[in-house]
């Protein structure tokens, strides 16, 4: 099984994750900070790193930048108590594969670790599908049109839905690889739609879209199975990065 490095200065968290991943058969090493992690990485090869951002010697983002500067493409899952929209965006831009808040359960974290490991192995070992089918669900037509135009130019096959009800019908016929789902819609809201989408297609790659960062709502969506979230107004470079990174995991889960 894969070798995983957990980098966190909290002993209780290291031990809990070591136990949870060990039960699943993974070989787990732990480090209390960036310096310790670097020493372990100099003598061992890891298939994935779980990284806290708040550490005593240097921040997780500085550590991640050093890894990527050294051309090391090991998948990195950031799991930290201080995650916000700005930090998540920066982490993604410097090369994090997943960015999660520690308010999420250990079960969500281990699930994401396994998804990232699977997608990394698939992308290295065999060609993933080149299909990029995107469903955009939003009750505001100008936003749907704007997103459809942007992603259409990027090579995505885009289908639009103006409501949760339309989205449920669309996934049955169009079988999208990834869904952009507005959190607040008239009628069936985003959370209700998410639940029903995942009842139809468990594991469907859904990214929530929201105009404001409501940590409780985001946590609830992630616990239900959403892949992540993005904020309005859109930073299109970041939006494309999030969608493309989640697409790899979504397509892997469908194979």
Render pLDDT for 124-176 as a digit per residue (tens, 0 to 9). Answer: 544 455 678 999 999 999 999 999 999 999 999 999 999 999 999 999 998 89
Q: How confident is the model at residue 51 (pLDDT cuts 50, 70, 90)?
A: very high
Q: Tokens representing 252?
A: 């892997």
**Mean pLDDT of the chain, nearest integer:** 90
Picking from 101, 81, 169, 184, the residue whose alpha carbon sits closest to that of residue 139 is 184
Q: Do domains 3-125 and 133-254 have the same CATH topology?
A: yes
Q: CATH number for the 133-254 domain, one of 3.50.30.30, 3.40.50.2300, 2.60.40.720, 3.40.50.261?
A: 3.40.50.2300
pLDDT at residue 125 in the model = 46
pLDDT at residue 251 in the model = 72
3-125 folds as: Rossmann fold (3.40.50)
Question: Domain limits of the chain?
Answer: 3-125, 133-254
What average pLDDT does this structure show over 11-34?
96
Q: What is the pTM of this model?
A: 0.81
């Amino acid at each position: 099984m894969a070798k995983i490095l957990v980098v966190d200065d909290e002993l209780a968290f290291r031990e809990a994750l070591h136990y949870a991943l060990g039960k699943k058969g993974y070989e787990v090493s732990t480090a209390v900070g960036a310096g310790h992690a670097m020493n372990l990485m100099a003598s061992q090869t890891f298939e994935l790193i779980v990284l806290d951002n708040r550490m005593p010697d240097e921040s997780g983002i500085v550590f991640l930048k050093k890894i990527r500067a050294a051309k090391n493409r090991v998948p990195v899952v950031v799991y930290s108590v201080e995650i916000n929209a700005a930090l998540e965006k920066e982490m993604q831009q410097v090369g994090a594969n997943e960015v999660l808040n520690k308010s999420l359960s250990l079960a969500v974290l281990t699930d994401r670790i396994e998804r990232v490991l699977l997608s990394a192995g698939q992308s290295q070992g065999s060609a993933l599908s080149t299909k990029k089918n995107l469903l955009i669900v939003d009750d505001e037509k100008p936003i749907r049109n704007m997103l459809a135009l942007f992603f259409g130019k990027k090579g995505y096959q885009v289908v639009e839905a103006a409501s949760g009800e339309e989205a449920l019908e669309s996934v049955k016929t169009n079988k999208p690889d990834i869904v952009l789902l507005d959190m607040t819609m008239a009628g069936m809201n985003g959370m209700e739609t998410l639940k029903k989408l995942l009842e139809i297609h468990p594991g469907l790659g859904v990214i929530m879209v929201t105009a404001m960062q409501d940590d409780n709502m985001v946590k609830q969506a992630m616990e239900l199975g959403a892949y992540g979230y993005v904020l309005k107004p859109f930073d299109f470079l970041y939006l494309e990065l999030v969608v493309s990174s989640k697409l790899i995991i979504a397509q892997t889960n469908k194979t």
